[in-house]
Amino acid sequence: MTTSMFPIASSEQDEFLSMAVKHFSELNASFVPQEDWKEHYFATIMANPQYFLRWIIYDEKRAGFILFGLEKHRFLPRKTGAIYELYVSPEFRRRGVAQACGEAAVRELWTHSPSKIQLELANGQTSWAAFWKSLGFQKATERFVLARSKS
């Protein structure tokens, strides 16, 4: 069985968004795509040539997606690689799919000479933390967020 990645086409927006909703719902059971998400998430990704959005194909079947890219450093004349999302559908897990795609994304990012490659995990994602550590990533920070109250 082989794993490969292919660019997601603009015409595949609905299929991608459907899979992305599954991904974000797994990360947060209360995830509900807001109107701005529906309207802008895919369009913003597709409009940036520094973002790489790919279908994950396993045994000729669509098994998930990966989103990675390059960002300008906030303060220095450098760029940073980033892995934003990696989603493998449940029926394709535990087959080495995520590892093959994670490694391929890292290899591709290094070809663009970033100073580093980073990613962010939601709290409680211990299996994903172990996965990324197995690919050589190290925990560097803890990120805190202050959300606007809904009152």
**Which CATH number is 9's domain given?**
3.40.630.30
For residue 81, give the 3-state DSSP assignment: strand
pLDDT band at 151 (very low <50, low <70, confident <90, very high): low
Categorize the per-residue pLDDT at 143 as very low, low, confident or very high, splitting at 50, 70 and 90. Answer: confident
User: Mean of the pLDDT values across residues 128-133?
Assistant: 94
pLDDT of residue 123: 82
CA 38, CA 33: separation in Å to the nearest integer?
A: 6
Decide if 148 is inside a domain: no
**Mean local confidence (pLDDT), 31-53:** 96
Token pair in block for residue 62: 């669509």
Q: What percent of the chain has pLDDT over 90?
A: 85
| Local confidence band at 150 (pLDDT 50, 70, 90 cut-offs) | confident
Model confidence at 38: pLDDT above 90? yes
Starting at the edge strand that comes first in sequence, how are the strands of the sheet with 3-7 ordered? Answer: 3-7, 51-58, 61-72, 79-88, 117-119
Residue 140 within a domain: no
Q: Domain range spanning residue 92?
A: 3-134
Count of CB atoms within 10 A of residue 75's CB?
A: 6
- The mean per-residue pLDDT over the stretch 36-41 comes to 96
R_g of the chain computed on alpha carbons: 16
Question: How many domains, the chain?
Answer: 1
How confident is the model at residue 48, as a pLDDT?
Answer: 97
Q: Which residues contact 73 (CB under 8 A, 6 or more apart)?
A: 79, 80, 115
Tell me if 103 is assigned to some domain: yes
